[in-house]
Amino acid sequence: MAAHLETWSKEEIRAVIRFLNAKSLNPTEIHKELQSVYGEHVISRTQVYHWCNLFETCHSDLTDRKGRACFITTTSEDNVKRVDELICQDRRLKLHEIASSLEISETSAHRIVFDELGYRKVSARWVPKQLTDNHKEQRLDICRELLKRSKSSRRFHGHTANAGGDFLGYDVTFLDSIVTGDETWLHHCTPETKQDSMTWKHPSSPVAKKFKVMRSAKKIMGTAFWDSRGVLLYETLQPGETINAARYCQTLDKLREAIRRKRPGQLTNGVILQHDNATPHTARVTQGWLEKYGWEISPHPPYSPDLPSSDYHLFGPLKHELAGKRFDDDEELVDHVRKWLQNLDGSFFREGIYSMVRRWQKCVDRLGCYVEK
């Protein structure tokens, strides 16, 4: 059996189609003849029908009627290489742009990009800030320090992490001493996410419509402090009230009283407070309060909302809970959030504190870059 021709021009293929069509071969027979000489991917049968119809209407030009080149369906090694080169030059290229540049069909471009080269098009991930080398070094140093403190020969049953293939035991004393907290805005109306609004449908079902909803202007500032056993303090600011160092120290007074009541002996054993570097948290008045009661501050690198568990473990699910709901007033919103916090299982908070160990390890593995999950 003769070998297939590996190279050809689009004009050559159309000329052969015109010749065989003039000999009264039908499109199916012409397609088989082309495949026997040029290979099975030479051109689709639909394209053969298209050109046969053109030639039967006295069309003699070997270009498309609209002046566009006819695309030949092929996944030759040369085209695979050329597609890869195009994508490496511009990773935002669209399939129709690739097909147009190489004069191949979009079907072939799709097959080359996804099946032959294994590319997948994904959206860029938004990060809080472009970290400098100094920022990354600070994140590395702090995470290494926290990892060192979290490692222990004592292993807490049911809560282990795998870091680089080595078993990592959690120092329960250290992790259970951590009290973490932060502030977040609570809106009277939080829009439902696109993912939450997805519904099942048949091909014949009507298209679902979703009207754009903006977050309400009415909102309150909520503060929550918690540890591995549950919520210690939840409060909200009064309308017009702002958080400054003096107001934050009042919150810390309430937190200290809550720890005394809910965690007997914790104040004596020591409290490790984890909060971010917001101005009220680092002010001289706040530092004086912390020194007065002997509370240790867990180091927190700048521009690092991916590391404290309040941001990703507590407030994320809270915003998901509020999505799509409307509240008539502050009291209704505050009460709903309080009930939601009270109904959370104890394992939720334990996992939130212990998951920080995995985050610290991933930050180290990523050389200080942001941790997504």
The pLDDT value recorded for residue 43 is 85
Domain boundary among 83, 116, 149: 116
The pLDDT value recorded for residue 337 is 96
The pLDDT value recorded for residue 317 is 92
The pLDDT value recorded for residue 158 is 40
The pLDDT value recorded for residue 156 is 42
The pLDDT value recorded for residue 295 is 96
The pLDDT value recorded for residue 152 is 61
How far is it, in rounded angstroms, from Cα 247 to Cα 157?
Answer: 40
Whether 219 and 100 map to the same domain: the answer is no
> Is residue 322 in some structural domain?
yes
Are 274 and 308 spatial neighbours (Cβ–Cβ below 8 Å)? yes
How far is it, in rounded angstroms, from Cα 171 to Cα 91?
Answer: 45
Domain boundary among 116, 148, 168: 116
Whether 26 and 158 map to the same domain: the answer is no
Q: Is the dihedral of CA 287, 292, 293, 296 positive or negative?
A: positive
Backbone angles phi and psi of 285, in degrees to 5: -65, -45
Please state the pTM of the whole predicted model.
0.65
The pLDDT value recorded for residue 101 is 83
Residue 355: CATH number of its domain: 3.30.420.10
pLDDT tens digits in sequence order for the chain, 373 residues long: 456 777 788 888 888 998 998 888 998 899 999 989 888 888 888 888 888 877 876 666 776 544 444 444 445 678 888 899 989 888 888 888 888 888 788 888 888 888 888 888 877 767 778 889 999 999 999 999 999 888 764 444 344 443 333 334 567 889 999 999 999 999 998 877 766 667 676 666 676 666 566 677 889 999 999 999 999 999 999 888 889 999 999 999 999 999 999 999 999 999 999 999 999 999 999 999 999 999 999 999 988 888 888 988 999 899 989 988 899 999 999 999 999 999 999 999 999 999 899 999 999 999 999 987 7
Q: What are the CA-CA distances from residue 92 to residues 7, 99, 194 (Å)?
A: 29, 14, 24
Domain total of the chain: 2
* Domain interval for residue 322: 133-204+213-365
